[in-house]
Amino acid sequence: MSQNHIVIVEDERALAANYIELLERNHFKVSHFDDLPSATDGLTHIVPDLAIIDVGLKNEADGGFELLKWLRQRQPLLPIIMLTHRSDDIDTISGFRMGANDYVSKDISLSHLIARVTSLLKFSKAIKTAPTEQTIREVGDLRINLDEFKVLWKGEDVPLHVTEIWMVDALTQYPGHVKSKDQLMKAAQTHVDDNTITTYIKRIRDHFKSIDADFDRIETVYSRGYRWKS
């Protein structure tokens, strides 16, 4: 059985050594890069199963975000954890907007980190091994193409990130049926609290309203979740 391959992009040597030792002890194969240029060069030649990325990389304060955007264009399904000292709401929301699956502080315990890694890999495996489903879905004026990760509304491209596309896909599988926040989190392969799911839904609505001011298909069902109105 092959090992899961994890990439760590971290410029603090002591922290990187701790993460590498932790992951190798738990039977993961690990590759390490300490700045943006070496990471983009290395990831051009390898396809890992998961990436852990620090936001600040050497002299590039947002180098991790740049790498996140670069990776998402090339590997839209790659599980990505942002691991950083910067844990304010603005950075967290920025990370999720760009497609991070998880965003945690470096204060996290090593046991907690390995639990997040293991859980996210399970989500990823479930998605990859699930029975092949319809990759193009049309619901009224909505068209979702999961092969190309594109969403069209009334023929216009909706600028959604990967996580947001997974949520819209989950909502439209059974129009009119309520999806709980837990179900949306699982569909999006992410680990966030209820407030962050609420933020995602608001952003998704805003994206649709940017091309259709009257958009009202995503309905909030109090204390239960959300549904796509048919």
Let me know whether 180 and 124 are in one domain. Answer: no
Q: Is the pLDDT of residue 221 over 80?
A: yes
Work out the number of other CB atoms within 10 angstroms of the CB of residue 117: 23
Interatomic CA distance for residues 212 and 205, integer angstroms: 10
* Residues 79 and 173 occupy one common structural domain: no
CB 150 within 8 A of CB 160: no
Total number of domains constituting the chain: 2
Task: State the DSSP code for 60.
Answer: B
Kindly state whether residues 106 and 183 are assigned to the same domain.
Answer: no
Q: Residues 158, 108: one domain?
A: no
pLDDT, tens digit, 9 for 90 and up, residues 56-78: 898 888 899 999 989 988 888 88
Side-chain half-sphere of 128: how many Cα atoms within 13 Å?
11
Tell me how many degrees the CA angle 42-47-50 measures, rounded to the nearest 5. Answer: 100
Last residue of a domain, which of 90, 113, 129? 129
Residue 92: phi and psi, rounded to 5, are: -60, -50
Identify the residue whose tokens are 């002890």: 25
Task: Read off the CATH number of the domain in which 217 is found.
Answer: 1.10.10.10
DSSP code for 179:
B
Are 55 and 167 in the same domain? no
Same domain, 171 and 144: yes
* pTM, 2 dp: 0.64
Q: Where are the alpha helices (DSSP H) in the chain?
A: 13-25, 36-43, 63-74, 89-97, 110-129, 162-173, 181-187, 194-209
Given a contact cutoff of 8 angstroms between Cβ atoms, the answer to whether 172 and 142 are in contact is yes
181 and 87 share one domain: no
Q: What is the mean pLDDT of residues 134-141?
A: 86
- Asked if 17 and 102 sit in the same domain, the reply is yes
Tell whether 200 and 143 lie within a shared domain: yes
pLDDT digits (tens, 9 = 90+) for 13-43: 999 999 999 999 999 999 999 999 999 999 9
Owning domain of residue 72: 5-129
Same domain, 72 and 142: no
Cβ atoms 46, 75 nearer than 8 A: no
